[in-house]
Amino acid sequence: MTVRNSDFFILSCFAEDVRAIPGIQQRTIPAAQTLVTVATRYRERLVNAGHTPDEALSLLNDVVNLIANEPTPAQRRRWEREDRAERLREIRTEARSH
Dihedral sign, Cα of residue 36, residue 41, residue 44, residue 49: negative
End-to-end CA distance of the chain: 59
Instruction: Say how many CA atoms lie within 13 Å of 45 toward its Cβ.
Output: 16
- Dist. CA 10–CA 31, nearest whole Å: 20
Q: DSSP readout, 43-74? A: HHHHHHTT--HHHHHHHHHHHHHHHHTSPPHH
Which tens digits make up the pLDDT trace of 4-33?
A: 888 999 999 999 999 999 988 788 999 999
pLDDT confidence bin for 41, thresholds 50/70/90: very high
The predicted model scores a pTM of 0.70
